[in-house]
Structures are given as C-alpha cells and as structure tokens.
Amino acid sequence: MATKAALEAQLAVVAGFEAPKVSLEQYPTPPDLAAHLVHLADLRGDIESTTVLDLGTGTGMLALGAALRSPARVVGVELDPDALDTALDNARRVGASAPIHWIRGDATRLPLCLPDDQPVTVLMNPPFGAQRGNEHADRAFLDAVSRVADVSYSVHNEGSKEFVESFVADADGELTDAFRATFDLERQFDFHDADRRELDAEVFRIEW
Ligand SMILES: C[S@@+](CC[C@H](N)C(=O)[O-])C[C@H]1O[C@@H](n2cnc3c(N)ncnc32)[C@H](O)[C@@H]1O
C-alpha cells in the first residue's frame, strides 16, 4: 500500500469548486484530510475490493482518493452538475485506474442499485446543515448511509458526536472510531471576511 503522504501528493491536483454554492454548503475537503481518511479506511480493510460510495462528492476529492487504492468500483453522487464537471476533469488529472461512476442525483434518495455480493463503504463530507433552511442535512445523509453501507466514514461539524452516537444506536450500528480534524479552508463565500480560516470538524467510522 502506498503511503498516506504519497496519496496526499496525488490529491493535491484536485481542483475545488469554481463558484461554490452556499445553499449546498460547498466546502472542499483538503487533500491532507482526504488522504488521512482514505488511508485509514484502506488500513482497516474497508477499501480493497469494495464498492466505495462518495455521497455529495462535490469535485470528487474523496471518491478520487479511494480510486487511487484498489476498490472494485467507486461511485460519486452529487446534485450539482457544475461540481460534477470539475470532478470529471479532476479524474483525468489524477489518473486513477479503478472504475469511477459519477451520478447526478440526490444522495439522500439514492438513485442506485448496488450488487448484493460486495461490501459497500461510504466516504462522505456531507453538508453539515450549518446554513439556515438546511438544518440537519447530515441526518438525511446518515439515513441514506444506514440503508446501503456496511461501513462509513463521515465528516461532521464540531460537537456532532452525541447526535451521531444516538443516530447510530437507533439504527443498531456501532460507532467504532472518532477523531477531530481541522480544515484549513480558503475563502469560499462573500460573507467570509478572512482569506483563510480554520474549521473544526469530527470524523466518525461507523459499522452499520
Ligand atoms: C461539504 S461539500 C463536500 C464536497 C466533497 N465531498 C469534498 O469532500 O470535497 C458537500 C457536497 O454535498 C453536495 N450536496 C448537498 N446536498 C446534496 C444532496 N442532497 N445530494 C447530493 N449532493 C449534495 C454539495 O453540492 C457539495 O458538493
């Protein structure tokens, strides 16, 4: 298996959102966090020969990270066609060899039929539900995950652990790993007053 540092370097060419849409909470996952998440999932045996789903794939960062390892296939689901155009360009740039399918659709109502005989791993950095009118957006994503995944890795905003634990317990799943992560984000939206800022997040591995 290649190193995490090598994966991070390969993901450094992934372009972010050209015109990020605030209503869809389009923040890109930085390459260091994406590499960390994918490398950890691979070490735990959750990538090789599995179907990897990236829900709310945006410009493809997590899907492409997984595709650089040895999954059976990768599927990226995204509502925004502009983001998917960039994801396609990114796939060419990254040059991963695993089959990747990009699907335009609502990740909370998965437009997919998945093979029964292969484990499904979800990687996702869903909208946090931080924008007014979009509260609990991550709950709808977790709900979709609980229906299709054997295991998932998801990024949530700081302070989500209690909510995630209770959601997972209700679904008879098991939260096996939790860690904090800091995003170093470039200015995305007009209402951000600094050119860069740090965002605290939490990452969870869940067995469903
Ligand atoms: C926080 S961004 C993360 C993007 C990307 N996964 C990454 O890690 O860089 C959340 C993404 O979810 C997408 N999204 C929001 N609601 C969605 C939905 N219902 N179905 C599919 N994608 C959605 C947004 O357009 C955005 O690309």
Query: Residue of the nearest CA to atom 9 in ligand 1?
Result: 28
Q: Which of 14, 18, 23, 26 is the pocket-test mutation for ligand 1 (most atoms within 8 Å of CB)? A: 26
Angle (CA) 105-108-110 rounded to 5° is 55
As a CATH number, domain 31-159+167-207 is 3.40.50.150
Residue nearest to atom 6 of ligand 1 (CA): 57
Rounded CA-CA distance 161/177 in Å is 11
Confidence category of residue 137, pLDDT binned at 50, 70, 90: confident
Give the residue with greater pLDDT, 4 vs 114.
4
Residue 80 CA, ligand 1 centroid: distance in Å? 8
- For residue 62, the SS3 value is helix
83 alpha carbon – ligand 1 mean position (Å): 9
Beta strand pairing status for 174-186 and 100-104? unpaired
Q: Are 176 and 204 in contact (CB under 8 A)?
A: no
pLDDT tens track for 17-58: 999 998 898 989 999 999 999 999 999 999 999 999 999 999
Global pTM value: 0.94
Q: Closest ligand 1 atom, CA of 17?
A: 27
* Strand-by-strand arrangement of the 174-186 sheet: 100-104, 73-78, 51-55, 120-124, 151-157, 196-207, 174-186
